[in-house]
Amino acid sequence: MNLVFLGPPGVGKGTQAATVAAALNLAHISTGDLLRAAIAAGTKTGLEARASMDAGRLVPDEVVNRLVRERLQEKDAAGGALFDGYPRTPAQAQALDGILRDLGRRVDRVLDFQAPDAVVVERIGGRRTCPRCSAAYHVTWAPSRRDGECEKCGGKLEQRSDDRPETVKHRLEVYRRDTRGVSEHYRSSGTYVMIAADREIAAVTADVLEQLKGLK
């Protein structure tokens, strides 16, 4: 099964993606995490991506498409993948169709997570992430039980530099301008479902799993 999670930054799709991928045994492919790992490793891709990410702009399509194609070759992705934060432009959506077609696969379901802007801004403002394992927390709604540290790996939690208010505003503009068109790409395909993300984490997860029932 191959799933796409869409929605604005901060809507909670990364949190849902981690839970759902684990529950359904899918590879969780977050292009944001792949790019941050490339930056941390000091690769050429990381160097190319860094300035765009710091400014809240999108990284060029060909860079993320290449990362996704490579990531899908890894063993854990053979049984299916959950794409989180990708595709983010209509051109990436077309590229993903082609990448999956080459593997004899297709996008089986697209879940578009939606919440009012005020909710999204509040969620991003309170988000704290683990630089080591990418786990995400929220200072109010999902705090770590280990003060300031990641529950999973003990990493020191931090606020992502692009989660600061001035960059967030720009990321939301980019989402409205470039990423909304991705919903159009999928809307007519019969695979597209809208998810109300302005609810408790567990309620959203239950809804998502319900929407995926019966898919293989």
88 binds ligand AMP (CB under 6 A): yes
Segment lying near ligand AMP (by CB under 6 A), choices 54-62, 70-78, 105-113, 139-147: 54-62
| Positive or negative: CA dihedral 12, 21, 200, 152 | negative
| Per-position x/- string for 28-47, each x denoting binding to ligand AMP as judged by CB under 6 A, each - no binding | ---xx--x------------
Closer Cβ to ligand AMP, 168 or 208, answer by number:
168
Q: How far is the CB of 216 from ligand AMP (least distance, A)?
A: 26
53 binds ligand AMP (CB under 6 A): yes
- Burial class, 101, CB count within 10 angstroms (exposed 0-12 / middle 13-18 / buried 19+): exposed
Q: Are the beta carbons of 157 and 129 closer than 8 angstroms?
A: yes
Please give the single-letter amino acid code of residue 142: A
Which residue in this structure is represented by tokens 């992502």?
160
Q: Are the beta carbons of 97 and 120 closer than 8 angstroms?
A: no
Site for ligand AMP, rule CB under 6 A: 9, 31-32, 35, 52-53, 56-59, 64, 85-86, 88, 92, 162, 171
